[in-house]
Amino acid sequence: MERSIGFYTRFLNLKLLNRREIPQNNAEIAFLQDSEGKGAMLELTFYKDQKRFVQAEYEDRVFDHIAFEVKDMEKAISLMRNEGVTITDEPFRLSPHGSLIAFIEDPDGTLIELIERK
């Protein structure tokens, strides 16, 4: 949980809003939101009895990715690269005047799309 909270607060500028134990299923949850408090909340769940987490191979995933907007793609990717974050797709555009996008993975292998809008 610490690793994931650190990742989302450091690299995606989310703020930890709330964190608590759920004794009924021996879990802990944390809620994060953008630092301005305007976007959707992200809920992280850690099941303490779970021995390991295995992310399915890309072709076998039912859930594809989540996305976050970044203000400066070059700066974000540079910081992540220097910190050893897995960058699966370097920044690119789908059209000449479209948004700049890139894909990274969080510490648990969840695919994240970064979007820099024009």
Number of domains in the chain: 2
CA-closest candidate to residue 102, choices 75, 84, 82, 83: 75
Looking at the structure, do residues 72 and 95 belong to the same domain, yes or no?
yes
Looking at the structure, do residues 68 and 44 belong to the same domain, yes or no?
no
Please say if the pLDDT value at position 97 is more than 70: yes
Domain that holds residue 111: 64-118
Does residue 26 lie within any of the structural domains? yes
pLDDT (tens digit, 9 = 90+) per residue, 54-69? 666 767 766 678 999 9
Looking at the structure, do residues 70 and 106 belong to the same domain, yes or no?
yes
Does residue 9 lie within any of the structural domains? yes
**Residues contacting residue 37 through CB under 8 Å, at least 6 positions apart:** 15
Looking at the structure, do residues 44 and 80 belong to the same domain, yes or no?
no
pLDDT (tens digit, 9 = 90+) per residue, 20-78? 999 999 999 999 999 888 888 999 999 988 877 666 676 776 667 899 999 999 999 99
- Dig out the tokens for 75 from the structure: 């700066």
Does residue 55 lie within any of the structural domains? no
Looking at the structure, do residues 27 and 68 belong to the same domain, yes or no?
no
Tell me if 35 sits within 8 A of 15, measured CB to CB: yes
Does residue 92 lie within any of the structural domains? yes
Q: What percentage of the chain carries pLDDT values higher than 90?
A: 71
Q: Is 83 a known active-site residue? A: no
Catalytic member of 36, 74, 113, 116: 113
